Chain A
Amino acid sequence: MEHLELFFKAIFIDNMVFATFLGMCSYLAVSKKVTTAVGLGAAVIFVMAITVPLNWLLDQYILQEGALSWLGEEYAAYDLSFLSFIMFIATIATMVQLVEIIVEKFSPALYNSLGIFLPLIAVNCAILGGSLFMQSREIQSLGLAFNYGVSSGIGWFLAILAIAAIREKIRYSNVPAPLRGLGITFIITGLMAIGFMSFGGMLTGGDEEEAPEQTVQVEVTKEANDLANNEKEIIK
């Protein structure tokens, strides 16, 4: 149940593109054709499924406050979370490179379809964003982290597929000249995002409105409390 809830939440309610605007750069640049969009979307799902659980392990056993206690009592007080940006991005960059090498070796067909997109993915904000949200939402287990990675990837895939299909059709419409290309894509994405907002009531059964902003706020205050506690301890 928990898994299912996270799965739908990551795809529809907290959709990477429509709720948090992550991965917009490649979303706008590679959505002119459905086939290339599918290639990039698949690569994103693939890489996220690998990097989010990996970064979860890193976060749980190295970076978090007290995470080093498995090394012994004297390490329990360390808090390396300020290093998480650099650790996460290094993991992502190396994983992308590794995946590229492995795929090239074992599946040339897949490499030909994903190949050019893989290097692009290292700098796709959706991937790093997935890991950072995984950290700030305090996902509980490795299984859930994997689930979160895959489902956020699927959400991103859906978004790029939808916009690519619309852009293929809109070529035949008479869009005002200054809006052609980028402008109309922005506005369509905005309208799609409004549509996706209606999924907000899906998990609560419509009893209470759950705006994405609010959930972020709650998590942020949770983080803030933790940090404030840390500071108090330091002062003591």
Chain B
Amino acid sequence: MGLLSKKDLKLITDPLADNNPITIQVLGICSALAITAELKASIVMSVAVLFVMGLGNVVISLMRNIIPSKIRIIVQLIVVATLVIIVDLVLKAFAYELSKTLSVFVGLIITNCIIMGRFEAFALANGPWKSFLDGIGNALGYAVILVIVGFFRELLGSGTLLGIKVLGDPIEKTGVYAYGYENNGFMLLAPMALITVGIIIWVQRSRNEALIEDN
């Protein structure tokens, strides 16, 4: 790792666990929950956020000395909106089916609080290289939670992963279905996303006592 000093590496690894944007910083929940019924959608969403955050952080950090602080929110929104339009058009061109399942949630990356939060908290005060790493790190932290939630919801809800039947065929009763297993359709509905994230938080905080809130 000659390219990354220890400090730089910390920028990437910190948000993966102990400073996770979703479970600890409580940012970017909106889109995280709505599109996680399938693993594939979660992965695409994570890649989109990774692209927007990495690039957006660099752009904002390059402009940090010329943005007047009074209108900085509008400037930030315009930068994100431009990047999101690129993502949206690319998705519509190359993955049309997916862009339908994601529907308005691609647009909602604009108001994803992780992005605005990192702009405010990091990119406005640090150089482009560090901001880039911070963006990548936080987007990966976001991706980890999305993939975990998407994995469990798709596996338990429809018995598939990335569309491949892992648990056997529910209609022809093969695999575990032969032993009377049934898909839990409830996992596909909106409320279970919240409860799944709640359980992830529970597990994470019981492993690391320092993260427990005093109410």
Contacts and interface: CB of A to CB of B under 8 A. Distances in A.
A178 interface: yes
A22 B108 contact: yes
A24 interface: yes
B100 A21 contact: no
A179 B107 CA distance: 32
Interface stretch (B9-17, B72-80, B159-167): B72-80
A94 B74 contact: yes
A122 interface: yes
Contact of A183 (B104, B192, B202): B202
A93 B194 contact: no
A124 B111 contact: yes
Interface string A163-194: 00000000100011111111110110111011
B173 interface: no
B148 interface: no
Interface residues of B, number: 54
Contacts of A84: 107
A103 to B, nearest CB: 17
Interface stretch (B43-51, B60-68, B85-93, B134-142): B85-93
A197 interface: yes
Contact of B194 (A89, A190, A197): A190
Nearest to B92: A227
Nearest to B186: A194
Interface of A: 18-25, 28-29, 82-86, 89-90, 93-94, 97, 119, 122-125, 127-129, 132-133, 136, 171, 175-184, 186-187, 189-191, 193-194, 197, 211-213, 216, 219-221, 223-224, 227
